[in-house]
Amino acid sequence: MHKQRAAMAAERPHLLAAEQLPTAPQQARSRQKRAALMSAALTLFSAHGYNATTVEAIAQQAGMAVGAFYQHFSSKRQLVLVLMDQLLDDAAFLRVRAEQSDPSDVRGSVAALVRQGLQTDWAYAGAYRAWRELSTHDAAVLAMQHQIEEWTAGQLEIMLGLLSRALQARPNLDLATFAHIISVLFWALVEQPLHDPAAVERLVNTLTDLIVHGLFTDAAC
């Protein structure tokens, strides 16, 4: 299991490997249209889910004709894959943040990573709702979801390992299992974005305490 997770952590899943993507837009106006379609899809997927959201609705939300959609995406399914692939790109930067964390302030470093992780996930809440719905009847997407979960847990294991070097970690801590638990918890929170700043801070503090006290003894903290 440790070797498998290490391999998953080394290379993130490539969700678009089998996709025939339309030519990437070169002009600024075309890039803006593509971004508008993606933003519209996130809004509609978040509100209505995958099946209830049509290509026509996405185009209308973006202020475009349906034909403009197909200039950038071959299907609604492909758009979901593009959004999820972008989420993985953004999530990968959290590991860089962990590598640059301040070893003299472990709790502050954990809190910053938790806050950024939640913000990243919540920005794609609509995509993840659509992805989960799609995975219930699309075997290829379901297989990719399993890969994503393993990769995410592997990334977290690496980040927690980096943080644990600053202080003495709990003896006999199974870091891989702990990372998997935290990963499952974060994925469960993706579709439930909080908008009240006070509620966000309470959640950040709770998750930070869970991670810090899970990694270290109270004396070390």
- For the stretch 5-10, contacts whose Cβ atoms lie closer than 8 Å and that sit 24 or more positions apart, written own/partner, are 5/150, 5/153, 5/154, 5/157, 5/176, 6/154, 7/154, 8/147, 8/150, 8/151, 8/153, 8/154, 9/151, 9/154, 9/155, 9/157, 9/158, 10/154
Domains and their CATH numbers in the chain: 2-12+76-215 (1.10.357.10)
8-state DSSP, 26:
-
Looking at residue 6, what is its pLDDT? 46
Looking at residue 5, what is its pLDDT? 46
Looking at residue 2, what is its pLDDT? 46
Name residue 216's beta-bridge partners.
169
pTM: predicted TM-score of the whole model, two decimal places? 0.89
Looking at residue 86, what is its pLDDT? 95
Name residue 169's beta-bridge partners.
216
pLDDT along the chain (221 residues), means of 10: 48 91 84 96 97 98 96 96 95 82 84 94 97 96 95 92 79 92 94 94 96 82 60
Looking at residue 106, what is its pLDDT? 87
Looking at residue 85, what is its pLDDT? 96
Looking at residue 97, what is its pLDDT? 78
First to last CA, the chain: 29
